[in-house]
């Protein structure tokens, strides 16, 4: 399942430019300090993040990324050049 989600994230066009700024941890992105990252919080860190890519990482479909889902999103990002 993780491989499918990773593939989906990459196919959806997460560009390295979008993630060049992504040297941020969950605590930095989680501005409301609820322990999860919403799409609104994530898009501040990565303006090019699409709703589809976010939804692909949100494996439990609750509208927020848990620490594990956030790690999945980060791991799918191409290395910044």
Q: What are the residues facing 81 on neighbouring strands?
A: none
Asked whether 30 and 45 are in contact (CB, 8 A), the reply is no
3-state secondary structure of 80: coil
How many Cβ atoms sit within 10 Å of the Cβ of residue 18? 20
Residue 58 lies inside a defined structural domain of this protein: yes
Asked whether residue 80 is domain-assigned, the answer is no
The larger pLDDT score, comparing residue 74 to residue 69, is at: 69
pTM for the predicted model, two decimal places: 0.68
| Domain membership flag for residue 39 | yes
Give the structural domain span for 44. Answer: 2-75
Looking at the structure of the chain, the number of domains it has is 1
CATH for 18: 1.10.238
Radius of gyration in angstroms for the set of CA atoms belonging to the chain, rounded to a whole number? 11
The pLDDT assigned to 60 comes to: 97
What is the C-alpha to C-alpha distance for residues 54 and 73, in angstroms, rounded to an integer? 8
**81 has pLDDT over 60:** no
């Amino acid at each position: 399942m993780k491989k499918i989600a990773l593939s989906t994230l990459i196919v959806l066009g997460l560009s390295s430019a979008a993630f060049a700024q992504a040297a941020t941890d969950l605590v930095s992105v989680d501005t409301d300090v609820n322990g999860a990252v919403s799409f609104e919080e994530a898009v501040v860190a990565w303006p090019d993040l699409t709703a589809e890519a976010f939804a692909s990482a949100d494996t439990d479909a609750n509208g927020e990324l848990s620490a594990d889902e956030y790690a999945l999103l980060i791991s799918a990002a191409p290395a910044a050049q």
